[in-house]
């Protein structure tokens, strides 16, 4: 069986911080909460829109109710879907790396804590969606990262086997997911992790996308 490589999306494949923080600040403005700076918003990315909102509100001194978060998450997603690729672009070398894996017969997949609709829309706007055999979000299966089910089911949806798969991410969420699923992980050092990627226990690190193919092939033994 050909190997499968599964990518996180925000901070790994695509630099989405500008659009995510813009959506966050749009919602916060409606709640009379001051805007979050881009650098502060980056560290809130990784667990989905609801978690971003909760973190921003708590740090502003607000304790949102479940109902408030439900409403604000809906507002966030509606605005974000209308502005999903204003600033977002693939990281340098990412598209070429996808082409290299595809040329060698690897199965490509995305496993993100974005909602699936948003992930598909973003990748479509960037011309990348058709490259992936599976695109899963936090609402695709019965669990989301770091629960291993999310990653394992993504691999299976792509037609691959967990025993021949690799996870590529940028954060503790991705490293923990891969570890929980017993799948090797590669973390990028240029992503959105608030702590150095080297401290997160990944099997390998890369600084640039042109390092990924050799790194992944070495891990998978192909």
Q: Compute the distance between CA of residue 79 and CA of residue 95 in angstroms, rounded to an integer.
A: 27
pLDDT below 70 — which residues of the chain? 222
Q: Compute the distance between CA of residue 65 and CA of residue 78 in angstroms, rounded to an integer.
A: 20
Catalytic residue among 8, 19, 170, 176: 8
- With left for phi above 0 and alpha for psi between -120 and 50, is residue 14 left, alpha or beta? beta
**pLDDT value, residue 24:** 96
Query: Minimal CA–CA distance to 108: which of 122, 124, 97?
Result: 97
- CATH no., domain 4-15+88-220: 3.40.50.1000
Q: Compute the distance between CA of residue 58 and CA of residue 220 in angstroms, rounded to an integer.
A: 42
Q: Compute the distance between CA of residue 146 and CA of residue 138 in angstroms, rounded to an integer.
A: 10
Q: Compute the distance between CA of residue 156 and CA of residue 165 in angstroms, rounded to an integer.
A: 10
**Where are the domains positioned within the chain?**
4-15+88-220, 17-82
**pLDDT value, residue 45:** 83
**pLDDT value, residue 145:** 95
Active-site residue flag, 8 = yes
**pLDDT value, residue 222:** 57
Angle at the Cα of 12 from the Cα atoms of 22 and 25, rounded to 5 degrees: 10
Report whether CATH 3.40.50.300 matches the domain 17-82: no
Q: Compute the distance between CA of residue 67 and CA of residue 120 in angstroms, rounded to an integer.
A: 27
Unique residue bearing structure tokens 């919602």 = 27
Query: Minimal CA–CA distance to 123: which of 134, 145, 1, 210?
Result: 134
**pLDDT value, residue 43:** 85
């Amino acid at each position: 069986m050909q190997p499968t490589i599964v990518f996180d999306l925000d901070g790994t494949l695509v630099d989405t911080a500008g659009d995510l923080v813009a959506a966050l600040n749009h919602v916060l403005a409606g709640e009379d909460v001051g805007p979050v700076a881009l650098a502060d918003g980056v560290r809130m990315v990784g667990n989905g829109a609801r978690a971003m909102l909760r973190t921003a509100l708590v740090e502003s001194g607000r304790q949102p109710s479940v109902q408030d978060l439900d409403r604000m998450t809906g507002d966030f997603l509606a605005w974000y879907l209308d502005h999903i690729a204003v600033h977002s672009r693939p990281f340098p070398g990412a598209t070429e790396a996808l082409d290299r894996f595809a040329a060698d017969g690897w199965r490509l997949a995305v496993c993100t804590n974005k909602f699936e609709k948003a992930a598909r829309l973003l990748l479509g706007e960037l011309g990348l969606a058709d490259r992936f055999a599976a695109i899963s979000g936090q609402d695709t299966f019965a669990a989301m990262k770091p629960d291993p089910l999310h990653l394992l089911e993504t691999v299976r949806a792509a037609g691959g086997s967990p025993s021949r798969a690799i996870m590529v991410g940028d954060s503790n969420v991705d490293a923990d997911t891969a570890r929980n699923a017993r799948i090797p992980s590669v973390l990028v050092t240029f992503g959105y992790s608030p702590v150095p990627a080297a401290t997160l226990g990944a099997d390998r690190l890369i600084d640039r996308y042109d390092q990924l193919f050799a790194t992944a092939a070495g891990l998978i033994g192909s």
